[in-house]
Each structure stands twice: as structure tokens, then as C-alpha cells.
Amino acid sequence: MSKAFLQARLGLPLPVLTALIFFLVLLGAESGWIRAASPETGLPDYPWLKSTITELVALRIEPPKGFTRIPLENRSFGVWLRGLPLRPNARLVWLHNGLPKLNQSAHFAVLEVDVGEKDLQQCADAIIRLRAEYLRSQGCDDAISFHFTSGDLASWPRWRDGERPRVQGNKVSWTRSARQDGSYSNFRKYLDIVFTYAGTISLSKELQPVKNPARVEVGDVFIQSGSPGHAVLVVDVAANASGERAFLLAQSYIPAQDVHILRNPGSQISPWYTAKSAGELLTPEWTFRYEDLKRFPAVRCGGPRSQVAH
């Protein structure tokens, strides 16, 4: 996004605009929602984007009154999620087949994340997609692996190096049948295979239970495994002076559809949910229990962008 573009949109003199950008960068770095850009491109690591995005989760959605966003570690999964782009002025959630979703009352905002043309990127799949995209953006390719519902492990490095799974009933075997290819388009093909054979049952087994859901963190997952099951992703967390927390939820659903920020059925004006240690968590299309909260295990990856990612 260039200064010329912002100047045209905001109508500010260039010196004023420059000072404003400097202030926002300082504020973002301090509050933990601005994520470092890719050192290779200088651009945010959301490679599926095809156009300039002017709205982000952390910029459009203000915390509840008396709450501020919790601080996050630089380059963490939480910071990456806070920086996810929103579709400007989106009123509808669209299905993979180009039709509008029947229930248009569940969403508060729509993420600018493509769905694909197949009915694959459903609830657990959207969470897998975002987690995998984050790890790849941090140079943690070797840590990208997910289990099929059968229990077999499907790793991106294995797929990248040319191996492909052969699924026969509940048995999976891998054979080298393609050339080595670390491109983003091949990465997306890998994800489609994971979406085909993974789901809430397999994802739930990969996550760790959170002992106290009242201490929810960005990147946590509320998940009930089954056929059907459902899963939603915590994409932001704020806290008040007493330490009470509130959080935002994002989901895809069945059929595969735009990933969207959920409304809170208990509030007419706010998408934020109150964190609790136990009890029912009522979302627009599914009722969880707070005890259903789980967390991705920490991942340590090597290379020049090494870090511990949650």
C-alpha cells in the first residue's frame, strides 16, 4: 500500500500523512498487532491476496469498552491473526460454488481469505489453512504437518519433496511420484489433500486442552470432534484492568464458505465474547462448552527466522 494511495484515500497533506504512518507503526509495534513484513518481499505474508487491503481485524474491530488488546510476542500466531485482512464493506458470506450462504445473520465481518472452488475448506479445514499459512510465513515449513482422520501423518515437507499419498480405505501409503516443488501453488494442493482427509476428529487430537478457558489466548480453538463436529478459531483477545478477557471468533462452516468473524448472539452491538472457566458458549450456529477450548502445541523451527510459535 503506497503513500500515494493513502493520500488519495484520506485526503491528507503528505507531511501529515507521513507523521500519521509513523505514529501508527509505533502504536502497532507497542500494542502487538503489527506483524513484521516478509524480509524477502517487504510485504505482509498473506500470499493469497490479489488486491490491496485497507482493513485489518485489529484496525476495524475495537475492543469492548474498558478493554485493551493483550500484548503478544512479535511474529507470534496471535499477531499474524490480528493482522488478517478483512473484506471491505462485505455484507454477504459466499459459498465455494459462488452462491450466498443461506444464513447471513451469523457474521460480523468477512475475512479476505479465498475459499476455493471445491467443498473442502470447511470449519476445521479453515483453521488448518490459517495455521499452515502462518507457519509457512515464518519459515517453519518443516513444522507443517497434520493428521488424516485415519491417524496417518501428512507433512508438507514430504509433499514438497515429491511424495504423494495413496489412500485405500483406512490405509495410507506414500510414494515418490512428482518432482520437488516448494511453490505456493503446490502448497495449496497439499492443503486440499489435508482438507479432504482431515477434520475435527483429527484436529482435536493434535491440540492440547486449555486448563483454564478464562485465560484464553489468540490462536486457541473451540472444538467438538465428530461427524458432524465443529471448530472455531480465536482471532483476538482483549482484557480489562481486572484481568477479565474477551475474545473474537472466526469460522468457516458447511458447505465450504468465506471465513468470517462471528457475531455474539448475546449482544446486539459487539462481536466480542466473554471468557469464562466453564459453561456454555453460544455461537450463532453451534453451542460449545468453554471446556472445549484447546491450543496448538508450541513449535520450534530453525533457519534465519527461527522462533517459538504458538
- Which DSSP string do the residues of 150-191 spell out, in sequence order? TS-EEEHHHHHTTEEEEEETTEEEEEE-S-----HHHHHHHH
Phi, psi of 47 (to 5 degrees): -70, -10
Say yes or no to pLDDT of 17 above 80. Answer: no
CA neighbor of 193 nearest in space, from 215, 222, 160:
160
3-state helix, strand, coil in the chain (%, to 5): 30, 25, 45
C-alpha cell at 11: 485526503
Q: How far apart are CA 78 and CA 81, in angstroms?
A: 5
Q: What is the pLDDT of residue 212?
A: 98
What residue type is 97 in one-letter code? Answer: N
Cβ density class 38-61: b for 16+ within 10 Å, e for less: beeeeebbbeeeeeebebbbbbeb
Q: What is the pLDDT of residue 14?
A: 57
Q: How far apart are CA 292 and CA 225, in angstroms?
A: 10
Please give the average per-residue pLDDT across 177-187, as a whole number.
Answer: 96
Please give the average per-residue pLDDT across 132-153, as a whole number.
Answer: 96
Say yes or no to pLDDT of 21 above 70. Answer: no
C-alpha cell at 197: 482427509
Cβ pair 193, 154 in contact under 8 A: yes
Cβ pair 45, 38 in contact under 8 A: yes
CA neighbor of 135 nearest in space, from 127, 144, 125:
144
* Single pTM value for the model: 0.85
Structure confidence at residue 149 as a pLDDT band (50, 70, 90): very high
Name residue, grid cell 462481536. 271
**DSSP one-letter code for 278:** S
Using a pLDDT cut of 90, give the percent of the chain over it.
Answer: 75
Averaged pLDDT of the chain: 87
